Amino acid sequence: MIEPAALLREWVRNYDYRKNEVQEYYSLKSVIDIENALAAYCNSRKIKYALTGFSGAARIAPAVRYKKAMVYAADLSEEAFSELSLKVVKSGGNLLLLGPYDDGVFYGSSKVSEVMVASEIQLYLDLQGFRGRGEEAAEALYERIVEKAW
C-alpha cells in the first residue's frame, strides 16, 4: 500500500532546493512588486517561471510574513535583470532566483491571479529547506491543502 505522507517525508529528507542554481538579488521594490514585475516580464516573453517557497505559499495558503521573494525561472538574461532593476548581491537581497536543474520544478504549476505558482508539493519541499518559519509555512500548507488532496 502506498503511504503518501511517508513518501513525502522521505522526499523531504532527500531534497534540497540549493541543488538548483541559486542567485540572490536586491531591488528597491517591495517583495510583492518584485514577484508581480518578474511574472509580468516572464509572461510577456513566454519564459517558464513559478513562484515557490514563501512567495508561492502566500498565494495559496498564507501562514507567515516573508521578506524575500523566491522564484524558479528558466533562461533570464542580463536584459531582464536590468529591466527589472535587480542587482546581484551576496547577502541581504529580497529575491532568490532559482535556475532549475530540471524542469520537474514546473510540473503541476498553476496560474493564481495571473502569476504562475509551483505545485503544492514543490512549495512544501522548498519551504522545508528554509530555517526559521519555512517549516511552519510548510506544515500550514500541508494541513490546509496537501493532506486534504489525498
- Grid cell of 70 as nine digits: 523566491
Q: In degrees, to the nearest 5, what angle opens at C-alpha 54 toward C-alphas 60 and 59?
A: 20
Q: In degrees, to the nearest 5, what angle opens at C-alpha 19 toward C-alphas 75 and 118?
A: 60
pLDDT in tens, the chain (150 residues): 678 888 888 898 999 988 999 999 999 999 999 999 999 999 999 999 999 999 999 999 999 999 999 999 988 888 999 999 999 999 999 999 999 999 999 999 999 999 999 999 999 999 998 877 899 999 999 999 998 887
How confident is the model at residue 24, as a pLDDT? 96
How confident is the model at residue 130, as a pLDDT? 84
Residue 71 pairs with which residues in a beta bridge? 51, 97
Domain boundaries, the chain: 16-149
**CATH class of the region 16-149:** alpha beta
DSSP state of 119: -
Inter-residue contact 38 to 84 (CB < 8 Å): yes
